[in-house]
């Protein structure tokens, strides 16, 4: 069974700092990996989707990388802003599109 781990569980940084969130997974036979954002009391919003054949994806200040062989992904946030404060979840899908989520990293950006 796929297991997804996210480190750190919580992170607090001053505004403007660049930061990296980490995700690791145990089974490298994945279809894709997604990074989601979850705001309190709300559902999840997809930020970036990396297909199994890709190495990275970029959207604005966000960059996600994927290393299937080592079972790792990172989400890089450049020039962090208070509006980036949220919980970031990593999810991988295996054959059959079953999604497995990590427990998330709670990010606080201090003005």
Footprint of other proteins (CB under 8 A): 4, 31-32, 34, 36, 41-46, 49, 51-52, 89, 91, 93, 96-104
CB of 72 to other proteins, least distance (A): 17
Rank residues 60 and 111 by Cβ distance to other proteins and give the closer one.
Answer: 60
CA angle 58, 94, 41 (to 5 degrees): 65
CB of 102 to other proteins, least distance (A): 5
CB of 61 to other proteins, least distance (A): 19
Rank residues 76 and 101 by Cβ distance to other proteins and give the closer one.
Answer: 101
Rank residues 15 and 41 by Cβ distance to other proteins and give the closer one.
Answer: 41
Rank residues 52 and 74 by Cβ distance to other proteins and give the closer one.
Answer: 52
Rounded CA-CA distance 6/23 in Å is 5
Write out the DSSP string of 22-82: EEEES---EEEEEEEEE-TTS-EEEEEEEETT-SEEEETTEEEEEETTTTEEEEEE-S--G
Pairing of strands 10-14, 105-110: parallel
């Amino acid at each position: 069974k796929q297991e997804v781990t996210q480190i750190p569980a919580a992170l607090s940084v001053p505004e403007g700092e660049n930061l990296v969130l980490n995700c690791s997974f145990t089974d490298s036979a994945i279809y894709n990996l997604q990074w989601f954002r979850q705001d309190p009391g709300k559902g999840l919003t997809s930020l970036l989707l990396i297909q199994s054949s890709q190495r990275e994806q970029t959207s604005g200040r966000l960059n996600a990388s994927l290393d299937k062989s080592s079972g790792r992904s990172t989400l890089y946030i450049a020039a962090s802003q208070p509006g980036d404060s949220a919980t970031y979840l990593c999810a991988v899908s295996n054959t059959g599109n079953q999604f497995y989520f990590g427990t998330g990293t709670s990010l606080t950006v201090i003005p």
